[in-house]
Amino acid sequence: MSLQAGGPKAEAAFREASLACLDGLFGFAMVLAREPAAAEDLVQETYLRALSARHKADLSENLRGWLFTILHNVWRNEVRRPRLERLDEADVSRGPRSVVWLVSPGGPHEELERVRLRETLRQAVDELPSRLREVVILRGFEGFSYQEIASILGCPTGTVMSRLARGRALIRRRLADHPSRASCEAGR
């Protein structure tokens, strides 16, 4: 359904389809910005830009990919913009924040091991360079294809594949040293 024809039905369909992407957009914004308030600002700016350009959207195409591309471009523009405010000690001491991880059921010992492994995984993803972290999150958590990620990030598909391989290798190395990894794999 194209929005170029306009009308209240098309407008409502666009709003509904774009709001269905909200959780994924916020998760990706958290990975990029690492601050809940900044992530909310990124998502809000993404929706403002998407609403102003909704006549360009086609609901039969990849609306989700289009929204993620807008979000990534907004973030890139923010990173490029020179910072006028000075970082104080409080900003530096807070440290990075990341995506909230889901807890799976199990016994207390298994749950403790999973929590430890999840924390190690979260730290490993957080410690990746941003270019690798973006690709790992878009592929592993958001489920985008290589081509969709390339479109979102504005780079060749081969670059996406290379960054994903390097990111996964770094995560694998980090997890190989984790003591609970062996006990989790033994339980499979």
Mean pLDDT to the nearest integer, 85-97: 42
**Domains of the chain, each with CATH number or no CATH:** 8-80 (1.10.1740.10), 101-186 (1.10.10.10)
CA–CA dist 170, 130 (Å, integer): 13
In terms of C-beta distances under 8 Å and separation of at least 24 residues, what long-range contacts does 99-106 make, across chains too? 99/27, 99/30, 99/31, 99/137, 99/141
Mean pLDDT taken over the chain: 78
C-beta separation of 158 from 123 below 8 A: no
Is this structure's pTM higher than 0.75?
no
- Which residues touch 4 (CB under 8 Å, ≥6 apart)? 55, 58
pLDDT surpassing 60 at residue 166: yes
Residue 111 structure tokens? 């749950």
Confidence of residue 135 (pLDDT cuts 50, 70, 90): very high
Mean pLDDT to the nearest integer, 121-144: 90
Which pLDDT belongs to residue 168? 93
C-beta separation of 13 from 59 below 8 A: yes
Tell which residue, 72, 124, 69, 135, has the closest CA to residue 101. 124
Mean pLDDT to the nearest integer, 75-102: 51
C-beta separation of 81 from 102 below 8 A: no
Residue 41: Cβ-neighbour burial (10 angstroms; 0-12, 13-18, 19+): middle
